[in-house]
Copies of this chain bind each other. A is one copy, B any other.
């Protein structure tokens, strides 16, 4: 048999996430509330739906534009930057992999928070880089410790999600800017703003594409409700962005994604209505938690992380008991964070189901008496 590459050969067979579809296949029972993947149950803009329907009828037989010209131009206008400062990709996942491939060498240290986005870690391992993790502090990314670790390890890349996933917490723009300024010039800050639209504006530093050591990742999967299509983008200085075009899959952003994202971007009213629904669902999830005597963490994302008040095993028991009640959620897994469960903002009827199931699940998981 042909020998696999040494890096690949050494890798385990893993999947960063077990999908709800697999869980449904295995249980033989569909979820009644899909509150685990931080998708937008509110769906995409009707304009995006119309664009997809038109593309299905007219253009889907054509290869997509490898430059995503129209979408990139619209994003540039929307963000007030130049098209050369944007790289459109097949979702942030794809752009994370490319960033690891492009801005580090095999064996390089790459720093992230312990318990942060698993797909980033998957790519770090997949390219044979060395993952170095830093524990959260008070349920937030520990910026000082991240910067210190970067310096100690001479890291090529540091990954920071702001707002954070899985905790929903965030740092304000000043803290992010100080953090960026404290990094060595040769370290790339990969700032994942997948949840940026849902965050208070004070959490997002102004777009300064004059800085060479930051790329910011954004997506149409969350607020724009197009997770299934796979489309996200990076914003960065032109010389940084230029590297991606040397190795990316040029036809990798499909024609539906390009046309739907373009239409979605134009519909500010829909976005505003979704953001209002997200804000209201966050409040409702927090209040459901409170009814059961649990504390919800503050969230700047489209999910709420709930402290179940005991250890990781208990929180896992709650998750499983919710699963048994057809409510799909996820939970943080790292020590310290694992006492929590993570519940995505969803439709009224999904939250109704969660409201009914949570007290039962807490009891089923053997909640300690208080």
Contact = CB atoms under 8 A, between A and B. Distances in A.
A268 interface: no
A13 to B, nearest CB: 6
B21 A229 contact: no
B260 A60 contact: yes
A2 B62 contact: no
A310 interface: no
A291 interface: no
Interface in A1-37: 1-6, 8-9, 11-17, 19, 21-22, 25, 34, 37
A172 B93 CA distance: 41
Contacts of A213: 1-2
A61 B226 contact: yes
A6 B17 CA distance: 31
Contacts of A102: 4-5, 8
A243 B103 contact: no
Contacts of A90: 90, 249, 252, 254
Contacts of A3: 103, 156, 186
Given A12-B246, A66-B15, A57 B61 contact: no
A229 B39 CA distance: 21
Given A2-B212, A67-B22, A228 B256 contact: yes
A94 B1 contact: no
A134 interface: no
A8 B98 CA distance: 11
Interface string A97-114: 100011111000000000
B64 A230 contact: yes
Interface string A234-259: 00010110110111011110111100
Contacts of A34: 62
A255 B44 CA distance: 14
10 shortest interchain CB distances as A-B pairs: A228-B255, A52-B56, A2-B188, A1-B212, A61-B225, A126-B247, A21-B65, A11-B246, A60-B228, A230-B254
Interface of A: 1-6, 8-9, 11-17, 19, 21-22, 25, 34, 37, 39-44, 49, 52-53, 55-57, 59-67, 69, 90-91, 93-94, 97, 101-105, 119, 122, 126, 156-157, 185-188, 212-213, 221, 225-230, 237, 239-240, 242-243, 245-247, 249-252, 254-257, 260
21 contacts: A1-B212, A1-B213, A1-B237, A2-B157, A2-B186, A4-B103, A5-B103, A6-B105, A13-B246, A15-B67, A22-B65, A53-B53, A60-B228, A90-B252, A91-B252, A93-B250, A94-B252, A126-B246, A229-B256, A254-B254, A254-B257
